[in-house]
Chains A and B, each alone.
Chain A
Amino acid sequence: MRYLPLEDADRAAMRAKIGVGHVDELFKAVPADKLLGELPALPNAKGEMEVERELGRLAACNSAAASVPFFVGAGAYRHHVPATVDHLIQRSEFLTSYTPYQPEITQGTLQYLFEFQTQVANLLAMDVANASMYDGSTAAAEAVLMAHRVTRRKKALVSGGLHPQYREVIETLSRWGDAAVSTMPADPTGAEDIASRIDGETSCVVVQYPSFYGTIRDLTAIADAAHAKGALLIVVVTEVVALGLIKPPGEMGADIVAAEGQSIGNGLNFGGPYVGLFATKQKYVRQMPGRLCGETVDAEGKRGFVLTLSTREQHIRREKATSNICTNSGLCALAWTIHMTLLGETGLKRLAEINHANAVALADKLASVRGVEVLTGAFFNEFTIRVPTDGRNVIDALAKRGVMGGVPAARLEPKRRDLHDLIVVASTEINTDADRSALATALAEVLR
């Protein structure tokens, strides 16, 4: 095949067709201050060793999560991933496999996806789960769009305890679908009364559990209030390890659950790739987005697996598809299911207990630091503290002392002055007593 580059006449014809005068107009959605203008001065050529040396020097400027006491969470959690997981997912049958359109040659991929779905549905206590989404935030936005289809309404009511970036993803997708998003004020303590805000136009209520700030509350009353008004309850989970200990969303009346699965089997990966979990009730399965793998029997009556209910999907249903997602996070889902299989139900519960115990120990330690107030009552492995000054400055000062102390709320909600003194702190099984002491000591120094 020859590669024929476009010529100026081709470009002009395309611009004329779509009514664009200059190619820059296609990029006007990018804020001006984010455009580079011209490339930075880079040397034309360097030797391999020189490049390695220079990049090594730059990399050493980072505080890598594994190299410091690390308490950063807020949607992405550093957990121990057993070496078995990486070893198995790097088998070429898994690593290089493509979307399993042909069941006769993809039984291995289809079987692990089926097992993944089964584990997700069990963990969330929901009827049916799909073969995964891109990540938790896009899964949450897809859940909102699905609720709009189910209810034929177009207004989402979003809790002030939802991760701010998840809210932004929901807002972005809603904007292009002419749907409304109504957001409750930020809710660091889990005190909001969202049930009374549900009305006859509300398609869904979106609540995070545990919340962005770490609070845990029973959602049954919110589910009942939503259902009484014909709305759906969407539960978002960003730390699925919590479900080893706390009541699963399906037992509290959730209609759709959208979760970030990164905590199981997947590293921090600089923010991605991650794996979105998506589950719902059987009666809504045809409005579900994404791939769905099903169990069946072949012509000889032997158990086998296929992609199913594909008529929901874009390659068949075109513009009437439930979503434009035409794939899933296959390898991350595989890592998730291998790790979950290694843990088993008992192992997950034990892991969750260690996480919670570590976070409680940390909260007790930080509460004794002068100037620190622990705001969160019931929490899993993450909670919010109030400090007497801007949380961003505190976190920067801690980083200078070699401790990654958490996520300042103001970093995700820069316009919210009332949140500037809050820090969201997470502690997983990786943290030791020494780590906790290092944070408490550094925090005492910084606040002195």
Chain B
Amino acid sequence: MLRFSKDHEWVHVEGDLATIGITVHAQGQLGDVVFVEVPEAGRKVAAGEAVAVVESVKAASDVYAPLSGEVVEANGALADSPALVNEDAEGKAWFFKVRLADKSQLDGLMDRAAYDQFVAEHG
């Protein structure tokens, strides 16, 4: 089950490992993605910190860590094929994986229904 942040990131949790990417809605807003910068493994991140960059033909946006922890892996495939973000935002185009410092932070995220409603209300 995916959880979602108000900054349009999705989170998939297995044990204490969270896989993070940007939502289908977010990639649609950005348009054709031409560049992705992901954090290096080993970096300690805090919830709300800008840790990655996604750049499209019309905008560049920060991607925030929705949860605190340590980056254990980043998706190197995005550097060579940034278009993956448009093709499979909530699957193959994951950005990075974080070993969670505090699983209770998950409670602050939305489920799919709540996120869909958030998008409908806020655009």
Q: Provide the B14-40 mask, 1 if CB < 8 A to any CB of A, else 0.
A: 000000000000000000000101000
Interface of B is mostly: strand
Neighbouring A residues of B35 by C-beta, 8 Å? 286, 311
Neighbouring B residues of A320 by C-beta, 8 Å? 50, 60, 62
Select from chain A the residue with minimum beta-carbon distance to B34.
A311
Q: Is A316 an interface residue (CB 8 A)?
A: yes
Bound form: Cα–Cα A286–B34 in Å: 12
- Report the minimal beta-carbon distance from A72 to chain B, rounded to whole angstroms: 45
- Report the minimal beta-carbon distance from A283 to chain B, rounded to whole angstroms: 11
How many pairs, one residue from A and one from B, have CB atoms within 8 Å of each other in the complex? 13
Bound form: Cα–Cα A317–B56 in Å: 12
Neighbouring A residues of B55 by C-beta, 8 Å? 311
- Report the minimal beta-carbon distance from B55 to chain A, rounded to whole angstroms: 5
Q: Which of B37, B50, B59, B62 is A286 in contact with, Cβ under 8 Å? A: B37
B37 A311 Cβ-Cβ under 8 A: no
Q: Residues of A within 8 Å of B, CB-based: how many?
A: 6
A316 B59 Cβ-Cβ under 8 A: yes
Neighbouring B residues of A311 by C-beta, 8 Å? 35, 55, 59-60
Bound form: Cα–Cα A286–B60 in Å: 11
Q: Which of B37, B60, B62 is A316 in contact with, Cβ under 8 Å? A: B60
Q: Which of B37, B50, B60 is A317 in contact with, Cβ under 8 Å? A: B60
Neighbouring B residues of A317 by C-beta, 8 Å? 60
- Report the minimal beta-carbon distance from A292 to chain B, rounded to whole angstroms: 14
The B49-106 residues at the A interface (CB cut-off 8 A) are 50, 55, 59-60, 62
- Report the minimal beta-carbon distance from B78 to chain A, rounded to whole angstroms: 14
Neighbouring A residues of B50 by C-beta, 8 Å? 320
Bound form: Cα–Cα A197–B82 in Å: 40
Bound form: Cα–Cα A286–B37 in Å: 10
- Report the minimal beta-carbon distance from A290 to chain B, rounded to whole angstroms: 16
Bound form: Cα–Cα A317–B60 in Å: 7
Neighbouring B residues of A316 by C-beta, 8 Å? 59-60
Bound form: Cα–Cα A312–B50 in Å: 16
Select from chain A the residue with minimum beta-carbon distance to B62.
A320
Select from chain A the residue with minimum beta-carbon distance to B37.
A286
Of the A-B pairs whose beta carbons lie under 8 Å apart in the complex, a sample of 13, sorted by A's number, is A286-B35, A286-B37, A311-B35, A311-B55, A311-B59, A311-B60, A312-B60, A316-B59, A316-B60, A317-B60, A320-B50, A320-B60, A320-B62
With A311-B55, A320-B60 given, can you name 9 additional A-B contacts, CB distance below 8 Å? A286-B35, A286-B37, A311-B35, A311-B59, A311-B60, A316-B59, A317-B60, A320-B50, A320-B62
